[in-house]
Amino acid sequence: MDRAFSIDDLAALARRRLPRAVYDFYEGGAEDETSLRANREAFGGVRLLPRALVDVGTVDTAASLLGATVALPLGIAPMGAVGFGRRGGDVDLARAAAKAGIPYVLSTTGTASIERIGDVGGRLWFQLYPLKRRDAAVRLVERARAAGFEALVLTVDVPVGGKRERDLRNDFAMPFRYTPRNVLDFASRPAWALDMLWHGVPVLENMAGLADTAADASQMASSVGREFDPAFGWHDLDALRDAWRGKLIVKGILRAADARRAVDIGCDGVIVSNHGGRQLDAAVDSLTALPAIVAEVGHRADVMVDGGIRRGSDIVKALALGAKAVLIGRPALYGVCAQGEAGATRSIDILRDELVRTLRLCGLPAVARVTADALYEPEAIFGARHTGEAAHGTASAGAVHRE
């Protein structure tokens, strides 16, 4: 782990430890994986313009998020089935986040229960999918409230699951399908396979917890996508706002008009996201969608973004385009799959160190000082109409350099 100097290094370690089918489940996107690649490529198209001779002897990485201070403008995004890659991985991620002073978002399809994560403490958010069984959704929300979760994150971009062709080719499913091909694949990673054989395959604890019998739990885990409600609408979000009195965040927004409507209903935050490229393959990448949403609601709600973040400089770029914070999924997942809590901590440490280095190199002594002024020619990438209020909804177009 000491030789892991980048998120890509952690990805390589995870790949060496996991069967191909499991790694592909985490790594893959929808269809041709166009939006998956676009998420990463968008950051490469944004350049920063350093300011010289600024005192950056001390750099403050703290940020304000949902009315409280976090140690970094960073959170760990909700991810399902983490335990398939590392037993206890959800808990490892929550512990690493708590130690780092950043939020951790537990997924509805996590492999640790709401109560188990609640025991870890820290800044905890619970991610909820719109479920056909409204009584089941209410039970999950009530459990999250009782366990001390401070925010509810409603994911709104999964009326149906994306077509993930890596999983189809690998015949990957939950529970595992023990085809000859998969058995050989699993056997190629003996440490992983022995752990699964000895302790059993993890289950989606919160989904299984909605079932009345063990058989029902197994069926629910194997057909989790069919539990999502494609008819969930704005009136349902309004009802959820009334039912949940904590902070409410909507995740999976790419249109400024949708962000405005969510905030009008009373949402406290918006996560600009295309689900890591795992849903609509033709969708716009998250970073490109960010400036318009910031311009629309950034003065009324906290706007966050996920998808494609692999470097500390990516965090600075997102902040300069107006995000209050970024969420990471795969980078943290690589770490936890490679070496549990230590690996998760390493992923955060890498991004923290790169963030501080980037801030210093840009002449920025604090996260709070990052504005559109740090960008070089953003209108060439995102369009001039989006750059005027790019940084936290306040920067003027004249503040953007075009040297």
Show binding-site residues for FMN.
Answer: 78-80, 107, 127, 155, 251, 273, 306-310, 329-330
Binding-site residues from annotation for glyoxylate: 129, 164, 275, 278
Which H helix or E strand runs over 327?
strand 325-328
| Tokens 């999976």 found at | 252
Distance (Å) of CA 137 to CA 121, 129, 159, 181, 248: 22, 8, 15, 37, 15
Phi/psi-derived region of residue 315, left when phi > 0, alpha when psi is between -120 and 50, beta in every other case: alpha
Q: β-strand 302-306 against 247-253: which pairing, if any?
A: unpaired
On whether the CB atoms of residues 243 and 141 are closer than 8 A, the answer is yes
Crossing angle for the helix pair 312-320 and 286-297, to the nearest 10 degrees: 40
Binding-site residues from annotation: 78-80, 107, 127, 129, 155, 164, 251, 273, 275, 278, 306-310, 329-330
| Tokens 């335990």 found at | 83
Q: Is 270 helix (H, G, I), strand (E, B) or coil?
A: strand
Residues noted as catalytic = 275
Phi, psi of 399 (to 5 degrees): -80, -5
Nearest residue to 18 (alpha-carbon basis) of 161, 162, 176? 176
Which DSSP string do the residues of 185-242 spell out, in sequence order?
HHHTSHHHHHHHHHH-----HHHHTT-SSHHHHHHHHHTGGGGB-TT--HHHHHHHHH
